[in-house]
Structure 1
């Protein structure tokens, strides 16, 4: 990184550390902005990652999507453009040099509005690429991010200035080396925009049997085209995507709401306890009953 980028990263780290004094995820007075702090490396955390920009000021993190790995650090930022079931693992952090990151959420309408009011070039509707990417950090992006974070010291300015600064941040992302990947989600009728609709439909009824033909009809695609483009965007098939949603929700029910394994599996759509146990162990490394015991022991 050049000196300017390094200087910006150092200032950003100090700001995040000031507003996030303890480990965890911290909301801020800017509704879309969150800070993450961790003082040690950790095990993978499974979640459904909604569309967001993630910028690391200190430390490093590994994100796993299906069989793919993406690492980001102060030299690189992460963009997730559609809802994706991922596993995130902090791989560089210590009490003296904690992992410090900001997450800025966004939606398709923001990207669409920025493109429509700028000289951005539209991409071809037939294109579809992964809904997650890592790109190189630059000083223009960091300067815009710093202006946004500094607003936390003047809360009265947030309602007027924060929306303008958020627009600038995503304008910078759209103009960066992989900006086309983000443009796809905003283009009405693009394959990525259709897949985003399919994702929404699967999320709404993930415990119900998956009917590919119905999903394809809902977005005016053939079943084969849906399967192809879904895998291009998410790195998995619609069935694999649904399975990850089911297993993540079952895990949450067991670990957060003390549901037993059989009931958790049933609630997320599994009729066979043995199938649920097998698929759970394949994803998380332990059968559900064993993981509950380990969790409670810890």
Structure 2
């Protein structure tokens, strides 16, 4: 690792530490930019990664997409090109060297704008790639990211300069080894673009029963092409994707509202509470009631220690 790059990493860590200071997720004055800080390894966290660039400044994290494991540390960046239900866990963190991360979300329209201005050759007929990858960080990308974070010290500059640096960050990612993975999502008519439309529909209607004909209509694909391309992008079938969305939302409902497992099951689209309980136990390794009691007890202990 070059000395300038090492210095950049130190600056990057110091900036995030200064804008966080305590454990948890932190929003910023730049709406698309978030930070995370944790002083300990975390339990697996189930949620949806939006299209985004995630960079670890200190520590390390693992993300599980279906059965695929992605690990990234300060020399890496993780890119998600579509909404993906994942399991994430901070695997390296301590009080002395807390886990620090930069999360920057972007939209297909922002990607398309950069593609048009740069005239990059990304072809819509290419086969879609997996909607998540880990790539090595480079000095040019890290420099742009640091400049974006520094805007937080002078908020009056954000409206003018943040959009320009956002374009640069997307441009740097598109120039990387896996840039076509991100670029295809923005190119109308590409298989990846069409699958992203299916994902968007499923994100907004996960609690509903749907026929595969509806998904093939959205994607304008045959059944076999839909299943093949969907799995290429998400690492799972449409049914598996929907199931993860339902179970993750059910867990959130059970933790945040005073409802029982049967009501949670019905609200996320299950017709059979027993099937819900079986699938919940398989995913979270405990039946709903036991899992939620354990989570609440842990939250209580964590709040008492802060």
- After TM superposition, is the score higher than 0.5? yes
Q: Secondary structure at the match of 2:26?
A: strand
Corresponding residue for residue 61 of structure 1: 61
Aligned to 1:225: 225
Q: Is 1:158 equivalent to 2:161 in the alignment?
A: no
Alpha-carbon distance in structure 1 between the residues aligned to 2:91 and 2:7: 23
Q: CA deviation at 1:146?
A: 0.8
CA deviation after TM superposition for structure 1 residue 124, in Å:
4.1
- TM-score, normalising length: structure 2: 0.96
Q: Tell me if 1:263 matches 2:263.
A: yes
1:139 paired residue number? 139
Cα deviation for residue 98 of structure 1 reads 0.2
Superposition misfits of 4+ residues, deviation over 2 angstroms? 295-298
For the residue of structure 2 that corresponds to 1:186, the secondary structure is coil
1:295 to partner: Cα distance: 2.2
The answer to whether the 8 A contact 2:124-2:188 is kept is: no
Answer yes or no: is 1:245 the counterpart of 2:245. yes
* Cα separation, 2, equivalents of 1:90 and 1:132: 18
Give how far 1:219 is off.
Answer: 2.1
Equivalent residue number for residue 285 of structure 2: 285
Contact 1:125/1:187 (CA < 8 Å) preserved in 2?
no
Contact 2:36–2:102 (CA<8 Å) still a contact in 1?
yes
Distance 1:122 1:230 in 2: 20
> Is 1:42–1:89's contact at 8 Å kept on the other side of the alignment?
yes
1:92 and 2:92 aligned? yes
Residue 172 of structure 1: how far off its partner (Å)? 0.5
Q: Distance in 1 between matches of 2:290 and 2:233?
A: 34
CA contact (8 A) 2:25 2:37 kept: yes
Secondary structure at the aligned position of 2:134 is classed as: strand
CA RMSD of superposed structures (Å): 0.9
Conservation of the 8 A alpha-carbon contact between 1:210 and 1:239 = no
Return the offset for 1:126: 3.7
- CA distances 1:26-83 after superposition (whole Å, capped 9, x unpaired): 1111111111000000111000111110011111000000000000111100000100
Give unpaired runs (5+ residues) of structure 2.
Answer: 299-306
SS at match of 2:189: coil
Provide Cα deviations, 1:127-165, integer angstroms capped at 9, x if missing partner.
111000000000000111111111111111110001000
**Gap regions ≥5 residues in structure 1:** none
Structure 2 contact 17–100 (Cα < 8 Å) conserved: yes
Between the aligned partners of 2:172 and 2:126, the Cα distance in structure 1 is: 24
Shift of 1:210: 2.6
* Match in the other structure for 2:193: 193
Give matches, 1:27-46, under 5 Å. Answer: 27-46=27-46
Please name the residue that 2:216 is paired with. Answer: 216
TM-score normalised according to structure 1 size: 0.98
Which region of structure 1 is more displaced relative to structure 2, 288-297 or 177-186? Answer: 288-297
Q: Does 1:82 align with 2:82?
A: yes
- SS of residue paired to 2:177: coil
Deviation sequence 1:250-274 (CA, Å, 0-9, x none): 0000011132111001100111111
Task: Answer whether contact 2:80 2:132 (CA < 8 A) is retained.
Answer: yes
